[in-house]
Amino acid sequence: MGKLIYLMGPSGSGKDSILSRLRKQLHSQSRLIIAHRYITRHWQSGGENHIELSDAEYELRKSLNLFSMHWKANQNKYAIGCEVDAWLEANHSVIVNGSRSYLDKARSRYQDKLVPILVMTHESTLRSRLIARGREDEATIALRIQRARDYQTQISEPLHILDNNGTLVEAVQQFEKLIKQLAKETSDA
């Protein structure tokens, strides 16, 4: 049975970097697929390999039920396409860049197929990364850090924690180890 690996964490926690590095390491024999997100944000806005949609395109696709998951955050609209359902049905595991605020809805929809993973970083690391990427002003960075603080206490168990306070290589290795563990548990079940 394929699993939906639901990677989430605050902006600047390193989710995009982890997924980008993992994409480069996937091989043709893998049964693991990394889904792209659909976002109403310019495709060159840095970091994430996403598919840009206008508000009208987003709303049309949503009305046609072409999204398996969709939410709003940070003045943008985000979605995961319904193709992930076909991939799961074909026994592939799928990694999605999810939202902490959408986790309960994702759990309700995917139940035992969903494996939530929270990327965690120290607040100082998060602040440094947000400043370095240059997408937000200081007030927006402060809001994102407060949002990360709030979600840390609100997010529900069970979930896996991926520590991304070290190097990108260490985070990807930790993530790969977790994915292999999940694959083993799935095959043993």
Burial class (CB in 10 A: 0-12, 13-18, 19+), 146: exposed
The pLDDT assigned to 14 comes to 87
Pairwise CA distance, residues 70 & 96, whole Å: 12
Per-residue pLDDT 10s for the chain (189 aa) are 789 999 998 888 888 889 989 888 876 557 789 999 999 976 555 566 688 999 999 999 999 999 999 999 878 899 999 999 999 999 999 999 999 889 999 999 999 999 999 998 888 888 888 888 887 888 888 888 888 887 777 777 778 989 999 999 999 999 999 888 877 776 665
The pLDDT assigned to 102 comes to 93
The pTM of the full predicted model, rounded to 2 decimals, is: 0.86
Residue-range domains of the chain with CATH: 4-175 (3.40.50.300)
Q: Give CA separation, 146 vs 123, 134, 151, 179, in Å.
A: 10, 18, 9, 30
The pLDDT assigned to 187 comes to 64
The pLDDT assigned to 186 comes to 64
Half-sphere exposure of residue 169: CA atoms within 13 angstroms, side-chain side: 0
Which amino acid would we find at residue 5? I
Which amino acid would we find at residue 54? S
The pLDDT assigned to 145 comes to 87
The pLDDT assigned to 182 comes to 79
